[in-house]
Structures are given as C-alpha cells and as structure tokens.
Amino acid sequence: MNTSIRLEQAIKKLYTAFLNDTLNPECCKQCAVGNILDNMDSWKHLSDAHGALQLNYIGKVNEAFGKRFNGYLPSELLQIEVTFLKACGYQLPLHHKNKRPKNPTDKDTLFRGLSAVISYLCHLDNIDNAMDYIEHLIPKTTPTELTF
C-alpha cells in the first residue's frame, strides 16, 4: 500500500503515545497534534483556543505561506485536534466550564479519539479504509513465532 510519510509517521507517533500512556487530550504537548509534532506545543499559537477550528493571525499567515508542520497545514492540525477532542467526549473549545469526560486518560476514551484521528488522517491522504492501512503496520506473525 502506497502511503505518505506524514501519515505513517503520525500514526506511529499516536500509536506509540497510546501504548506508552503519553496521550492526554488536555495537554498541548501530549494531545493528538502535540504527539504528531514531536511533543511540541508551538501549534497552540495557530488559534486562540484549544479545540477551535478558526485560525488566528499567526495561523492564517502560516497557512497563506504554505507552512507545514510535519507535513500538515495549520488548518489540518486544528481539524485533527478537533476530531480527537470530540471523539474523546469534549465540548469545544476546551474550557473549564464546558463538558469533558470524567476520566480523560481512560484507555477507552483515548482509543475512541485515536480511532477518529486515524480515520481523519487516512481521509486527508485518500486512504479508503483506515483499518486496511493499520493492518499493514502490524507485524505479521505466525503461531510458531508467538511465545507465552
């Protein structure tokens, strides 16, 4: 299956963060976009609120110049984060008065967010079925190779 480098890197980073318990929707460095951008929070300056789709002046300038962050435009990064937060059960934008999940770092909550983001990333790269792509990443093993 022919995929983009940005898609492969993003999925690997998100999957690793999920497995290592370093995926946290309420932290700009550990959320979906924070992990895609190597745990940097500079992306938060592209909008005025965490979970907003509206680019601010800085975001608009970067978008207009075609600036990409690990392969993604500012508007794509904001949509990735919105997709993640909504799937995790947040009311957007993030604010202490808005609805949020009882346990934001619950594995089921994070898996719903992770699944939604992977589907969106695949959509951006015109991959029809996200699960087909994920199966491509999982190492193939035979029953004799499994050890207990």
User: What pLDDT score was predicted for residue 127?
Assistant: 86
| Cα radius of gyration rounded to whole Å, the chain | 16
End-to-end CA distance of the chain: 31
Q: Which pLDDT tens digit goes with each residue over 95-144?
A: 888 899 999 999 999 999 999 999 999 999 998 766 665 566 555 554 55
Average pLDDT over residues 48-74: 96
Task: Identify residue 138 by its one-letter amino acid code.
Answer: I
pTM for the full predicted model: 0.85
Whole-number Å distance between alpha carbons of 118 and 142: 26
Decide if pLDDT at 148 tops 60.
Answer: no
